[in-house]
Chains A and B, each alone.
Chain A
Amino acid sequence: METIQPDILTISAAILLIATFGVVARRGFLDWLNAYRLQSVVLAGVTGIVGYVTGIWEIYIAAALTLVIKSVIIPKVLTYVTRRLEIEFKMETNPYVSLRTAVIISAFLVALSYFLIQQIPLKSDPVASTYLPVSVALFLIGLFVIVSRRAALSQVVGLLIIENGLFLFTLVLTHGVSLLIEMGIFADILVGIVISSILLFRISQTFDSLDIGKLENLRDD
């Protein structure tokens, strides 16, 4: 195993978290997309670092795929399909949890994930101990974004954050499952994003809103 400067690990982990908070603290869809793009670029860098440390060449391919798919294609697709939506649909004007509270809760979630990782008997090399808590934090904050927001678009962004967390978690813990499976997971995400975009468009047309609080026709009463 190659060694690597601990500073680089810490700084990149910090940027990943800051980008996540960029989604939590902002109201506009384009801000979220920018934060997500930043996060994905850093994630690709982290993937490269893990590839360098372990010396497995397949991980470099995964890094390149991350860079291309997550930081270029997915933001492009999302910008393209939402270009015709009205501006008020792209804003989180009335979340279930106010943004200020959301930032505080997310900070607690970060602390919680550091605590959780200490409880679970996982490995403790520098790369793992830096990134595993961050990956769990990404997962938890993504879940929180999904449940605390009304705008359908922020649920999509929440899913994307969850997925980044999952990717980091799998990568650091197992040094990447085989390339074939990673390609499959990437394909699933891409198709999922396309389908959710089609759905978003239809919701905005039939309900004349992207507020998921209005999706309440189906219930048992």
Chain B
Amino acid sequence: MQLTEIFTESNTTILLLFLTPVIASILVTIFRQKRISEIVTVSSAFLILLQAFFIISRIINDKTMSAFGNTFYVDSLGAIILLPISLVGFVSALYSVNYMGRQFDNGMVDLKHITRYYQGFNVFLLAMLVVPIANNLGILWITVEATTLISVLLIMLYFKQNAIEAAWKYLIIATVGLSFALIGTTFFYYANINAGTSVDAMNWTEMIHNSKLFDPNLVKIAFVFILIGYGTKAGLAPMHTWLPDAHSEAPTPVSALLSGVLLNCALYGILRFHIISSYSIGSAFSSQLLIILAIISVGIAAASIYFQKDMKRMLAYSSVEHMGLVSLGIGFGGLLGIYGAILQIINHAIAKPMMFFVSGTISQKYETKAMSKITGIIKTMPITGALFLVGGLALVGMPPFNIFLSEFMILGSGFKSGQFLATSLVILFLIVTFAVFLRHLIRMVFGKPYTEMKTNEMGNLAVIPIVILGALVFILGVYVPEQLQTLVHDASTIVSQGGSP
């Protein structure tokens, strides 16, 4: 093979995207200095953001892009996941500088931990970047499993009992869960071989091409395994039990990545197989399963938020709720439901990290995560307090913020497709969540501070990432840019019709 054949334009684009975090983690390892690690990580995350925007704008025009002989394949659906990974990756890197810096100054972590943190952060980004770009479903599984392993390392960064307990539960539950996903993937691969594919039978594009020839019983069994497997990682109830522990005990920037991005990566796995299954045996089977899991998720989230005392755990359960809503939209189907679900993926990926950042800042200021001890944020930290209110209102689905729009579409599609019982149940759960969440929020933001505290923010780099995300929460609530509309529309066409738009 000639060198020019390897370095075609799309190959180089993908290669550069993967190389950026690799080089960054190597640099962090070599220098082992706090300041250099911070600069390297932030600039690598920024470069990834630029490259992702470049790839996404290409996808909007050309619709698809494949590299290295179809091993990597990006379409609009992949681009939808790539967007939050790069965006949240960048703001998390920015937020890490302040957050980990403060932990360092307080003596919570030493230089060794800081180096380990930034190495892990970059490798974590790399693993997640591969997920939406891999066409080969085996590589998809390997990288999702790799994200588990790396995030376990990031969670157990602190030598605390709670963090270690959370990391252990997460490692065992997620690994066992993902083993189900591997069985499901094997079944699909087997069905594809039996349908007569000999080359690249593990590739998604080949599977979708041959899916009409699959054995229907095999597809049903396989999809159940996939749903249990990737569903565990996506935090769908009743397999969500690891999620509140892991998300609340991780360092805050990692919590933001786990909640805002990693859940979507797992959900993306389910989506890909949902498309194959719908194309092969009709969407009724997989949609029904998705709706059932979605109702359980929203219900359990509502009940857990009702009894919640810990701020970060409340946000984690809210992630369970939002993952449930996304699968609800996919399950209801129709262009409206799927459009709403995909918009919800993006909206949640913006609002949830914002709330985790705010809660991280708050818990550093108040030195607690218990909601009963946090009051009067608006007096102690005016900007952060206001943004906490905005993010909270967005999370419960208040207009004019972004999540209102997508939730409205999802629930609307439920009534449109005649699923009255499911939709009414979910609305009931949402109302409970709304009331409880709002009560906690208002008491924490307003109210009188228990102890006298100085009125000051926690540093510029703690505020800027939150302001960026807060602005997006507001903008996407009133106006969805045309490019994003095209992208979401193309992605929904892929989900609803299978194959290329």
Where the two chains meet, the residues of A that have a C-beta atom closer than 8 Å to any C-beta of B are 120-122, 139, 143, 146, 152, 155, 159, 162-163, 166, 169-170, 173-174, 177-178, 181, 184-185, 187-188, 191-192, 195-196, 198-199, 202-203, 206-207, 212, 215-218, 220-221
Complex: chain B residue closest to A155, CB-CB: B172
CB distance from A151 to the nearest CB of B (A): 13
Q: Are B142 and A207 in contact (CB under 8 A)?
A: no
B175 to chain A: which residues have CB within 8 Å? 159, 192
Measured between alpha carbons, how far is A212 from B173 in the docked complex, in Å? 13
Q: Are A120 and B221 in contact (CB under 8 A)?
A: yes
Measured between alpha carbons, how far is A152 from B179 in the docked complex, in Å? 19
Q: What are 9 inter-chain pairs, A to B, with CB distance below 8 A?
A: A170-B186, A173-B190, A188-B149, A195-B152, A198-B156, A199-B171, A202-B159, A215-B169, A220-B304
Q: Are B189 and A174 in contact (CB under 8 A)?
A: yes
Q: Are B186 and A206 in contact (CB under 8 A)?
A: no
Q: Are A169 and B161 in contact (CB under 8 A)?
A: no
CB distance from A190 to the nearest CB of B (A): 10
Complex: chain B residue closest to A171, CB-CB: B186
- Add 14 more A-B contacts to A122-B190, A166-B183, A218-B244 (CB < 8 A): A120-B217, A155-B172, A159-B175, A173-B186, A177-B202, A181-B139, A188-B142, A191-B149, A192-B171, A203-B164, A215-B169, A218-B165, A220-B244, A220-B313
Q: Are A218 and B166 in contact (CB under 8 A)?
A: yes
Q: A181 touches which one: B169, B172, B202 (CB < 8 A)?
A: B202
CB distance from A137 to the nearest CB of B (A): 14
A174-B189, A195-B153 known; A212+B168 contact, CB < 8 A = yes
Measured between alpha carbons, how far is A221 from B249 in the docked complex, in Å? 17
Interface residues of B in 232-285 (CB under 8 A from A): 244-245, 248-249
Counting CB contacts under 8 A, is B136 at the interface?
Answer: yes
Q: Are B161 and A199 in contact (CB under 8 A)?
A: no
Measured between alpha carbons, how far is A198 from B164 in the docked complex, in Å? 10
Counting CB contacts under 8 A, is B501 at the interface?
Answer: no
A120 to chain B: which residues have CB within 8 Å? 217-218, 221
3 nearest A-B residue pairs (beta carbon): A181-B138, A184-B142, A215-B165
* Number of B residues, CB within 8 Å of A: 45
Contact mask B295-317 → A, CB, 8 Å, 1/0?
A: 00000000010011000010000
Q: A199 touches which one: B139, B164, B217 (CB < 8 A)?
A: B164
A121-B217, A188-B142 known; A206+B161 contact, CB < 8 A = yes
Contact mask B312-324 → A, CB, 8 Å, 1/0?
A: 0100000000000
Q: Are B218 and A203 in contact (CB under 8 A)?
A: no
Interface residues of B in 164-192 (CB under 8 A from A): 164-169, 171-172, 175-176, 179, 182-183, 186, 189-190
Q: Are B176 and A159 in contact (CB under 8 A)?
A: yes
Measured between alpha carbons, how far is A172 from B304 in the docked complex, in Å? 43
Contact mask B324-351 → A, CB, 8 Å, 1/0?
A: 0000000000000000000000000000
Counting CB contacts under 8 A, is B146 at the interface?
Answer: yes
Q: Are B139 and A184 in contact (CB under 8 A)?
A: yes
A199-B156, A203-B168 known; A217+B149 contact, CB < 8 A = no
Q: A220 touches which one: B139, B169, B249, B307 (CB < 8 A)?
A: B307
CB distance from B141 to the nearest CB of A (A): 8
A121-B217, A159-B175, A166-B182 known; A192+B149 contact, CB < 8 A = yes
Counting CB contacts under 8 A, is B215 at the interface?
Answer: yes
Contact mask B132-157 → A, CB, 8 Å, 1/0?
A: 00001011011001100100110010
CB distance from A121 to the nearest CB of B (A): 6
A188-B146, A195-B171, A206-B159 known; A218+B164 contact, CB < 8 A = no
Q: Are B149 and A169 in contact (CB under 8 A)?
A: no
Complex: chain B residue closest to A181, CB-CB: B138
CB distance from B301 to the nearest CB of A (A): 12
Q: Are B171 and A169 in contact (CB under 8 A)?
A: no
Counting CB contacts under 8 A, is B193 at the interface?
Answer: yes
Measured between alpha carbons, how far is A191 from B168 in the docked complex, in Å? 15
Q: Are A159 and B172 in contact (CB under 8 A)?
A: yes
Q: Are A178 and B172 in contact (CB under 8 A)?
A: no
Q: Are B176 and A162 in contact (CB under 8 A)?
A: yes
A199-B168, A215-B168 known; A169+B245 contact, CB < 8 A = no
Q: Are A202 and B182 in contact (CB under 8 A)?
A: no
Counting CB contacts under 8 A, is B11 at the interface?
Answer: no
Measured between alpha carbons, how far is A195 from B147 in the docked complex, in Å? 13
Measured between alpha carbons, how far is A108 from B139 in the docked complex, in Å? 35
B166 to chain A: which residues have CB within 8 Å? 218
Measured between alpha carbons, how far is A188 from B162 in the docked complex, in Å? 25
Q: Are A177 and B171 in contact (CB under 8 A)?
A: no
A206 to chain B: which residues have CB within 8 Å? 159-161, 164
CB distance from B393 to the nearest CB of A (A): 24
Measured between alpha carbons, how far is A94 from B366 in the docked complex, in Å? 42
A121-B218, A206-B161, A218-B165 known; A181+B142 contact, CB < 8 A = yes
Measured between alpha carbons, how far is A184 from B202 in the docked complex, in Å? 14
Complex: chain B residue closest to A187, CB-CB: B142
CB distance from B27 to the nearest CB of A (A): 22
A195-B152, A207-B161, A218-B249 known; A174+B304 contact, CB < 8 A = no
A199 to chain B: which residues have CB within 8 Å? 152, 156, 164, 167-168, 171
Complex: chain B residue closest to A186, CB-CB: B142
Q: A174 touches which one: B139, B190, B245, B313 (CB < 8 A)?
A: B190
Measured between alpha carbons, how far is A121 from B169 in the docked complex, in Å? 35
A166 to chain B: which residues have CB within 8 Å? 179, 182-183
Q: Are B171 and A196 in contact (CB under 8 A)?
A: yes
